[in-house]
């Protein structure tokens, strides 16, 4: 039987410190913001196109696999700041240039603030923060794209705006 490695959850103050450390680089800050405050997997963040992001009063992302989720306001602010400096077409990668070296950049930023964290730590921290609010598991599964209960999901419709609640929880936990 394989041994499972238990990785510690990135504490909220450490996650906020890491997020703050990335503010000097708008592209990295946008990537860390969306992984932490939308709980995206690194591959999901890397596959986003400019057209997948919908700014506005209720900022949204269309994530690979068809999920459409509202994201935390602070993540949208980071995305807007980065995109303001770009002349990107809708089909272009949203986080152009980070696909291959994102793990190293996140690890380096974490080391600068004395935190042990990587790209996967951000998603785990987001899920942990969302779970603290004690939402229905179907909301967690749908928002973060966890496919453990596919049959049950088909039987339990999600209420309108469930993702707004998740975005608000993540904003409260990590927003700036």
More confident position, 135 or 158: 135
Is the per-residue pLDDT at 77 higher than 50? Answer: yes
Distance, in Å, from the CA atom of 144 to the CA atom of 104, rounded to the nearest integer, reads 23
5 pLDDT tier (thresholds 50, 70, 90): very low
More confident position, 5 or 174: 174
Is the per-residue pLDDT at 2 higher than 70? Answer: no
Please state, rounded to an integer, the average pLDDT across all residues of the chain.
Answer: 89
DSSP string, 49-108: BGGGEE-SSS-EEEETTTEEEE--HHHHHHHHHHHHT----TTSBTTTT-TTTHHHHHHH
Mean pLDDT in residue range 83-112: 89
Helix (H, G, I), strand (E, B) or coil at 5: coil
Is the per-residue pLDDT at 151 higher than 60? Answer: no
CA-based nearest residue to 37, from 1, 90, 75: 75
More confident position, 40 or 149: 40
Least confident of 83-97, 106-120, 121-135: 83-97
Residues in the chain, overall count: 176
Q: How many CA atoms lie within 13 A of 20 on its CB side?
A: 13
pLDDT of residue 50: 94
Distance, in Å, from the CA atom of 31 to the CA atom of 23, rounded to the nearest integer, reads 11
Q: Compute and round to an integer the Cα radius of gyration of the chain.
A: 16
Strand partners, 69: 61
For residue 59, give both structure tokens. 């900022």
Q: Which class in CATH covers the domain with range 12-174?
A: mainly alpha
First to last CA, the chain: 43
pLDDT of residue 148: 63
pLDDT of residue 6: 60
The percent of residues above 70 in pLDDT, for the chain, comes to 90
Strand partners, 49: 93
142 pLDDT tier (thresholds 50, 70, 90): very high
pLDDT of residue 23: 95
Which residue, chain included where needed, has tokens 């919908």?
54
pLDDT of residue 147: 76
């Amino acid at each position: 039987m394989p041994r499972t490695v238990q990785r510690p959850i990135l504490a909220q103050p450490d996650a906020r410190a890491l997020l703050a450390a990335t503010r000097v680089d708008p592209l990295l800050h946008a990537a860390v913001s969306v992984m932490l405050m939308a709980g995206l997997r690194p591959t999901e963040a890397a596959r986003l196109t400019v057209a997948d992001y919908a700014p506005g009063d209720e900022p949204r992302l269309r994530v690979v696999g068809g999920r459409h989720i509202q994201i935390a306001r602070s993540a949208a602010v980071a995305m807007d700041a980065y995109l303001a400096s770009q002349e990107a077409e809708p089909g272009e990668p949203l986080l152009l240039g980070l696909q291959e070296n994102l793990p190293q950049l996140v690890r380096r930023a974490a080391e600068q603030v004395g935190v042990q964290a990587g790209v996967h730590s951000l998603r785990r921290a987001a899920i942990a923060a969302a779970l603290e609010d004690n939402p229905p598991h179907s909301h967690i599964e749908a928002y973060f794209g966890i496919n453990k209960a596919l049959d049950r999901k088909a039987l339990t419709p999600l209420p309108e705006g469930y993702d707004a609640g998740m975005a608000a929880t993540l904003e409260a936990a990590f927003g700036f």
